[in-house]
Amino acid sequence: MTKGLAYKLILLFAAFVCCLYVLQLFFDFGLKHNLNIKSSYVATHKVNADLLVLGPCEPLWMASPEILTKRTNLSCYNLANSHSDFADNYLHLHLYLKNNTSPKYLLLFVTPESFDLNYNTFYSYRFASFFNDTVVANTIKTCDAKYYPWKNYPFMKYAYYSHQTLFSALQGWKHYFTKKVSPYYPDGFEPPAKIVWDNHYDNLKKKYPKGYYFALDTLRESYLYKILWLCKEKNIKVILYESPILKETRINQPNREDFLSLINSIAKNTEVPFVSFQNLSLAENRKNFVSPMVTTLQGSYLFSDTLGGYLHSVINM
């Protein structure tokens, strides 16, 4: 190889690396300015709600801050994210608390599914722009060990999950140039998009004719404790709750009571209440649900009113 060719190859490689760094800066900026990404929004904007709702799909689609505020006179923000596990919830709460005052109350959704790896997951890409935060970095290292080392290479922390980050980065730049001031869902609540029952439960019964047995993942459990300890440190009053599940589907969960005992034990160990709303009349009819654990829009409004009434009674005890 001649010196001239070697020199050109070095320049080409240097230019390639520089392009990767520019792309990384492009994604960093775009993702942090995307108001529809809750981690970015709460880390850069003041919400300062009296009441936070946290968890996966169920609270995201079933807990309306508008109704909760009407029932409790507490300002409310829904910090839930679709299909998120406790580690995901923990980091959203961590980023929220770094930039906002501590809420007085936290409604944290928990159900037997919460502890099973077949349900929900940890989405590393949601936090890729926050690797400089030690808590975020350590959590990603624990929950997504295969992804974590790629943070050391330019742009790879975004390229690894590029199909999840590209559109969001572009949308963030759009929000910046259009001077957008609030997310598409300003209070974090996303009304259920579907209005008819799907066949999820019927398919599940075919796959597990003897019922589905939940399996405990201890890492999931440990991050539930992390949330509760963080709240105790910040003097946040936590209420663990389980929203209504379609009654006919509970028979397909043979060890459900074992996991409810576990949840009650965790609640007792950390001195927080746990309430399960399984005796509501809306849980009797499929017409109120779009899936076994998610209600229709009308069902969500009905449950939000019940949840708000319960919280009002707790506040005024």
- The model's pLDDT over 214-242, given as tens digits with 9 standing for 90+, comes to 999 999 999 999 999 999 999 999 999 99
Segment 36-45, tens digit of pLDDT: 999 999 999 9
Q: Using an 8 Å Cβ cutoff, are 236 and 103 in contact?
A: yes
What whole-number distance in Å separates Cα of residue 207 and Cα of residue 147? 32
Strands 294-295 and 274-276: unpaired
* Average confidence (pLDDT) over 309-313: 95
Q: Rounded to 5 degrees, what angle do the CA atoms 197, 202, 208 make?
A: 145
Whole-angstrom distance, CA of residue 3 vs CA of residue 9:
10
For residue 228, what are its two tokens? 């509760």
Gap between the Cα atoms of 247 and 286, Å rounded = 9
pLDDT for res 195: 67
Query: What pTM, to 2 d.p., does this model score?
Result: 0.94
Say how far apart CA 112 and CA 257 lie, in whole Å. 9
271, pLDDT greater than 70: yes
> Is 3-315 CATH 3.40.1160.10?
no
User: Given its phi and psi angles, is residue 188 left (phi above 0), alpha (psi -120 to 50 degrees) or beta?
Assistant: left
Q: What percent of the chain has pLDDT over 90?
A: 83
Each residue's pLDDT tens digit, 172-213: 999 999 999 999 999 999 998 766 777 677 788 888 888 999
